[in-house]
Every structure is written in C-alpha cells, then in structure tokens.
Copies of this chain bind each other. A is one copy, B any other.
Amino acid sequence: MKDTPEMFWTGLSPDEARKALVNKDKSMRDKTMSLKEAVDTFIHDGDNVGIGGFVDIRQPVATTHEMVRHGFKDLTLSFQSGGMAIDYLGAAMMLNPDHFSIKRLELAYWAHEAFGLAPMFRYLAERSLIELEDWSNANMSARFKAGAMGLPFIPTRGPIAGDVAKSNRTKIIDCPFTNRPIALLPACHPDVAIIHVNAADKYGNCIVRGSDCTCAEISMASAHTIVTCEQLLSHETITSLPKDIAIPFLGVDAVIEVPYGAYPGACRRSYYYSKEHIADLHRRTSLMCKTENKDELQAYFDEYIFGVDDFSGFLEKIGVAELLKAKKLEAANCERLV
C-alpha cells in the first residue's frame, strides 16, 4: 500500500454519517422554506459542502449567492467539475476573507471549458490561500457514490498511476481477487449538499433533465441537502413520472422553488448559458488577479448579491430580455413544445 499520512475525513466519517441518519426524521413532510432559512439552518462554518451540477450545468448558483450574503468561514468545497457556483464563493473570499472563506477544495476541475479559466482558482491557489486536494471527475463522483451507498470506500480503475493519486487520500492495494493493483477511494460525506434540479415536490422528490451529474449521489451521501428547483410540482405529478425521480425525498431536507436558480449557467429544458454574464464576472476577477484592485469585482457583488435581498432581486437586475434570450437558446437545443 502507498505510504500515506494518517487517514483523515473531511465532513463526516462513514460511521459518523451512518449515526447522523439513525436519529434523523425521515418522514414525508413539507420541506419548503425560504432559501435564506435553508442556508441559515443547514450550513455552518467549517462545513464540508458538496456542490451539485457539472461545470456550468445546473449548478446551485442561487444557493451560493445566499451563502455569500450570509457569510461563512473555513468551508471545504467538494465537487467534481465546478463552474459559476464555485466562482461566486471563490470571488467572495477574494473580496473579503473575513466575511467568507474557503479552507479547502476537494475537486477534479475548476474552470469553464469553452468559457475559459476560473481566475478565482488561480488567485486563491497561486497565493496558497486554500488547501488543495486534486482528484479526477470519476474519483469525486465515485467518492460521493461510495457515500451514497453507505460504503467506506469504492475501488476505481481511474488514475491509479501518475500524480493525482499522490495528491490525495487514494490508497492503492493489490486486488485480493486478481492480484493486480487497484485504487481505493474514501467515501465523501459532506455535511451539507447544495443541489439545483429541474423539478421537485414539497417532500423533496426530485426530477432531473439532461445530465444527472452526480447530484443524487451527493444528496444521498450528505448529512443534509438543500434543493432548489426550477419548478415545484405536486407530489401526484412527480410520482406519475416515477422513473424520472432521481433523488427520493429521503435524501432532501429543504426544498425551495428558484426559477433560473443555475443562471448564468444552464439548466436543460429551461435556459442555456449566458456566456456574456460569465465573461463579465471573469473580466472583473481577472482585473483583481492582475492588479489587486478589487473595485470592479466588489461593484459586481455590491450590485448583484449584497445589493439584493434574494435571488429574485438578482434576476430583476438581469432583466427580462436576457432571461428570455437564455430560454430561447435552450429551446433550440431541445426542440420541444413548451
């Protein structure tokens, strides 16, 4: 076995995660509340936060805005590939680490594919302001899956050779069945998951369109889960599409209807990316990276996040034309009757 420092868990250990469920109220009850109430109730300083979506697909952007307004200290962020949700948290730390700080990232990728790099990542990493633990996408997805399955670890054929496995808590053993090396990944049990989905009922049964990403696994692995949804549906409607339910109510603690909750990222069937808005945030961030002048980035946050009460205030500032444009672009992808 690879010579590793002593094993540690971020978030809950497998045995703690099991214990947390034993006494939890699992009843099918109304879990709707405001996003502010959900963030106040379920997220705490020092938490390991599991973040849903994939790059700029269906990321829980509205929840990250609320988290930034609230302010948190020393969070660990766990995700496979992150885009705007991580950007907002990272930029908030750049602006005022006394109000909002990330202690540690467990990640596979933080950037935006066609929309470029995340300058926040370079800023925080190159100044050594956050602990890094690199994994691959399959690694992080499998770690959440192990958590969701109630297993302490899961084997993988992923990057067993190379430096990724040396950057993290992967353990390599000889497979007791084949005698070939195999990598084992420790489960990830976040304290809280933040997830955006297409639809949910008030109990937390969730429907996802397009990529499932790793949202169900993150929800089921976490001690608590905050779900925002494009659309709140009746329980009867949701259960009439039983094969579409990706996350059962058991894995959800708070349900909030937040249309455009992944904007300026995309949400299948509802809206496509707003690349101009993403580029604007990146431009302002890059400016701070280069000059340490935070004015433009601060102005963005003052206008769009601190200057509004909730995500509907943000959408007001975006305006109807932009929202309709994003909706129209996505309609072309899906070719469906609304």
Among A1, A14, A176, the most chain B Cβ lie within 10 Å of the Cβ of A176
CB-defined interface of A1-28 with B at 8 Å, one 1/0 digit per residue? 1000001000001110000000000000
| Residues in B whose Cβ lies below 8 Å from that of A154 | 154-155
Across the interface, A1 reaches (CB within 8 A) one of B175, B176, B180, namely B176
- The chain B residue sitting closest to A178, CB to CB, is B152
Given the contacts A209-B243, A243-B244, A153 and B175 also touching, CB distance less than 8 Å: yes
Within 8 A of B (CB), among A94-149: none
- The chain B residue sitting closest to A179, CB to CB, is B7
A150 within 8 A of B: yes
- The chain B residue sitting closest to A171, CB to CB, is B176
Given the contacts A7-B177, A176-B171, A177-B171, A152 and B244 also touching, CB distance less than 8 Å: no
Given the contacts A171-B177, A176-B171, A176-B173, A153 and B155 also touching, CB distance less than 8 Å: yes
- CA gap between A7 and B14 in the complex, in Å: 29
Tell me if B243 and A178 are in contact (CB < 8 A): no
A184 within 8 A of B: yes
| Residues in B whose Cβ lies below 8 Å from that of A274 | none
Number of interface residues of A (CB under 8 A): 29
| Residues in B whose Cβ lies below 8 Å from that of A186 | 177
A39 within 8 A of B: no
Tell me if B184 and A177 are in contact (CB < 8 A): yes
Tell me if B209 and A14 are in contact (CB < 8 A): no
A168 within 8 A of B: no
| Residues in B whose Cβ lies below 8 Å from that of A244 | 243-244
A287 to chain B, nearest CB (A): 42
| Residues in B whose Cβ lies below 8 Å from that of A250 | none
Question: What is A's interface to B at a CB cutoff of 8 Å?
Answer: 1, 7, 13-15, 150-157, 169, 171, 173, 175-178, 180, 182, 184, 186-187, 208-209, 243-244
Pick 8 A–B contacts, CB within 8 A, sort by A.
A7-B177, A151-B156, A152-B175, A152-B177, A153-B177, A154-B155, A171-B176, A244-B244
